Structure 1
């Protein structure tokens, strides 16, 4: 019989559902069944429930067996987790510039220098990074040039890419990574164009929306707006067929003040530039009341992770949080390793040096950061949480203790509370959307369209 401790019941918006999280089973139930299940979960015997609810005990058993049948079927369909034996890295964020030509008001990196001296990565450090990669990893999916503003250091972009393109495959690395750039989109010259055309696969451009809202925060050293320079950059990059371009917009209180929703931002970029992208929240989920409000009546209004959660339930496969230090990490301009690009410059989070001892070759350093060994196992990290398989929480946001300047083994309880509420809303939305065949097909078509446009 199914373990009822593994069942979570959600009642919202005139809908009640049962969610069995180990099997990803999602079933719509009525209030009568909900009451019976809650009584069983609280420890009341079937005979006592039979008397209280005036229902035959055999019928209760039949109900439980029907759930058991569906759950066991889904458990059989559940994808087996593939153990990665080879050392494979999803993404390395390579800081090649500790300087920036902009002075965005909300910049977490203190104008691009991460509270360090302003400088660019040297070719010597770039060569050390290349050696570190080819000798330590079998596969690197992508290397992302980052800053500061990485386009201030086009010399190193070109030099490092050429090293990889001339690699003889005589070390550990078995295939070439893809190269990308995250840029503010204000630098454009013939040299950069040539390097992009030759080596770059994808470019992410930081832009917050149309002119007024973008220029509220994204300003240059003289305090002038940057929208038109960025728009011109995007228009030009789109003409390079080998490069996929997307936007990254920071959603701030200024957007809320101007009554600009996240959907408004997405719609603007589709109409003006015909590109997809993603939003970074400057405000927390607790502050953004709109995050928990959406409707299945408008497929464009569904939250970003709706598709991810639907995919997880459909294919019985857990969603992963960012695998900091395990599958992705950041390298500073001087060759120091950090869990995340937002950690660069924080001494207590230095995971070693690309030329010496580091988290990939030192057990002492590995043992000093226990979270990173658990982050790929939600069953161990969050053993009692019903949404462990559907949570894509950012470890930096949920586990980082800003006062102690370290990662904790316990997530922030308030953020977890809001995350669970958010996922509950999405599960209810999935059930409701499935009930409307026309809306469901509209949604599937829209998602298929987006996936064709937005891949790299």
Structure 2
């Protein structure tokens, strides 16, 4: 499969199955497009056939000389022979092995608090309640969750634990106690916990910051961008905005971590489709690690993104990509999560095929100890997998998630971005499409655009160097 597009003056050709990216001139771009139309499964043999040459010449000779066309066709044939263009998909035969392999649990999302001190209007967790009741996780429940993770992690040494909510700082003592318990267990079981906390920052203070910097491998801090944007969607329960309180705390925390091992995480909605301005605002505030995600919601929600918004969203991603290149040239670069792409290695084969690992390698734990495939399924009893006392009591749910991949999703089979997103978010597919093996179309459209921008940025930076 070949995907071609033009962005910011670059003619880009992506060979999907090999992952090779080619930046070409206009004649090369047109020749490859013509060959792909003729036969999307070109081989060295078909490229050398006289019929291929004659058809190519008939279509393009008026624009380019025969010598130019011969030279380009020779280059394309050489790239194909080297496994860099028109590469056959060799991954699909591995899917049976991926499905059958024994998975181990490597990460838990601990819902340390089903409660929150903000009233964010787009919150999928219903201000921390998750379609249920307000509750704080006890130390005993959290301890059993960590024990479960250790017992079900096999030979894997590095284990991930995210303290999540609601707002986890509302149950701060239990967070500290569980970190201490985890550190004790590391020595006994030859494991290493990588702790993360996701916070809105309202309760952040010097003592908490010091502990986070000592114990947390990463911290996710929530802010939606400009003051008016943030305060419209992330107010306190009394309607007052949160921006003025949390921004100085976040700046102090990011600087105390040397602008590393954190990211600031925002959400854009229909109310701020000019979200590139919010990313610029993050940069102006001094942040170096950032993300701003499209809101996911039902079309009936006034803030939800709709299909007619996509052209403007695509323009914003293009603006943002150009801004990132400009800042990098000035030595003022920053990382934007959705544009971070590894063209040399990329995710491992299993990850490319099987996705995020929700329901198999990654589980969410409620304050009372129930297991769900991930935080976005919490509260939906159809996906209740078990609990910390009995373990996994419904393994068929894990089997269903394990069998969900880029080859069971019809839309993924035809998508050039499938090995970058690995099938997308299953929760979004379940809630806003036709089930786990479908795809959330709006999300897919935006993901494809982000992948294109990310590759273009790589091309521009390579060109600059």
Q: Does 1:352 pair with 2:386?
A: yes
Q: Specify the alignment match of 1:254 in structure 2.
A: 271
- TM (normalized to structure 2)? 0.74
232, 235, 243: which one aligns with 1:219: 235
Q: Does 1:182 pair with 2:212?
A: no
Q: Specify the alignment match of 2:372 in structure 1.
A: 338
359, 363, 375: which one aligns with 1:325: 359
Q: Does 1:148 pair with 2:177?
A: no
The 2-side partners of 1:241 and 1:298 are apart by 25
Q: Note if contact 2:201-2:249 (Cα within 8 Å) is conserved in structure 1.
A: yes
The 1-side partners of 2:146 and 2:218 are apart by 20
Per-residue deviation, 1:132: 0.7
Per-residue deviation, 1:73: 2.9
Q: Note if contact 1:96-1:150 (Cα within 8 Å) is conserved in structure 2.
A: yes
Gap change, CA 1:20 and 1:135, over 3 Å in 2: same
Q: Note if contact 2:110-2:142 (Cα within 8 Å) is conserved in structure 1.
A: no
Gap change, CA 1:292 and 1:121, over 3 Å in 2: same
157, 161, 164: which one aligns with 2:179: 161
Q: Does 1:230 pair with 2:243?
A: no
Q: Does 1:50 pair with 2:54?
A: yes
Gap change, CA 1:61 and 1:305, over 3 Å in 2: farther
The 2-side partners of 1:306 and 1:145 are apart by 22
Gap change, CA 1:228 and 1:413, over 3 Å in 2: closer
Q: Specify the alignment match of 1:98 in structure 2.
A: 114
Alpha-carbon displacement from aligned partner over 1:218-245 (angstroms, at most 9, x marks no partner): 1112222212221242244346459844
The 2-side partners of 1:235 and 1:427 are apart by 30
Q: Does 1:120 pair with 2:104?
A: no
Gap change, CA 1:10 and 1:149, over 3 Å in 2: closer
The 1-side partners of 2:112 and 2:187 are apart by 25
437, 449, 461: which one aligns with 1:409: 437
Gap change, CA 1:264 and 1:397, over 3 Å in 2: farther
Q: Does 1:289 pair with 2:311?
A: yes
Gap change, CA 1:410 and 1:324, over 3 Å in 2: same
Per-residue deviation, 1:12: 7.0
Gap change, CA 1:336 and 1:75, over 3 Å in 2: farther
Structure 2: runs of 5 or more not aligned = 296-303, 328-334
Per-residue deviation, 1:306: 7.1
Q: Specify the alignment match of 1:449 in structure 2.
A: none
- TM (normalized to structure 1)? 0.75
Structure 1: runs of 5 or more not aligned = 1-5, 442-456
Alpha-carbon displacement from aligned partner over 1:320-374 (angstroms, at most 9, x marks no partner): 4433223333111111122221211111122222322427xx643433x2x4334
* Matched length: 415
The 2-side partners of 1:164 and 1:156 are apart by 12
Alpha-carbon displacement from aligned partner over 1:196-226 (angstroms, at most 9, x marks no partner): 3553333222112233222212111222221
Q: Does 1:386 pair with 2:416?
A: yes
Q: Note if contact 2:107-2:149 (Cα within 8 Å) is conserved in structure 1.
A: no
Q: Note if contact 1:91-1:140 (Cα within 8 Å) is conserved in structure 2.
A: no
Gap change, CA 1:363 and 1:424, over 3 Å in 2: same
The 1-side partners of 2:115 and 2:366 are apart by 12
Q: Does 1:21 pair with 2:16?
A: yes
Q: Note if contact 1:186-1:229 (Cα within 8 Å) is conserved in structure 2.
A: yes
Q: Note if contact 1:129-1:354 (Cα within 8 Å) is conserved in structure 2.
A: yes
Alpha-carbon displacement from aligned partner over 1:356-400 (angstroms, at most 9, x marks no partner): 2427xx643433x2x43344xx35553443332233553146522
Q: Note if contact 2:423-2:439 (Cα within 8 Å) is conserved in structure 1.
A: no
